[in-house]
Amino acid sequence: MNFQWNQITLSLIAGLLMGAAVGGSPSFHEYAHKWDTRSPQERMLKRFAKRLDLTEDQKRQVATILEQKRAKMDALFNEMKPKFEQIRIETGDEIRQFLNPEQQKKFQAMDAEMSDRFNKRFPPHS
């Protein structure tokens, strides 16, 4: 009976250590935000609250400020997005000039993927 409990205990400890190692790894934290459905403002508020040890009243005040500034930042980004898009198009046109036909086809597919990712990450706000 003792032997089984030793194995169970060792297995639990190994599992906990592996979980801690994976949870603490930089790659885990780098991609963890992809599963986080909260808004950037909510994630920022959580980070502020934890690191600054904010009171409930302070959390409400910070949340209000973040929400007010989000609208201004969205407006600025929407104003600048077409300019970024124009530069992206010009850059692609310049790169295409020295690519052979096969490379141009691959570049076109890469460019479409990058454009899709950009538009998904930064959709137009109305």
Q: What average pLDDT does this structure show over 106-115?
A: 91
For the segment 9-38, what is each residue's pLDDT rounded down to a tens digit?
666 676 776 666 666 555 555 555 566 677
Q: What average pLDDT does this structure show over 51-79?
A: 90
Residue in the block written with tokens 């490379």: 103
Closest CA to 88 of 103, 58, 105, 110: 110
For the segment 72-108, what is each residue's pLDDT rounded down to a tens digit?
888 888 888 888 888 888 999 999 999 999 999 999 9
What's the pLDDT at 110? 92
CA angle 40, 41, 44 (to 5 degrees): 85
- The residue that leads in pLDDT, 26 or 54, is 54
Q: CB–CB of 33/43 below 8 Å?
A: yes
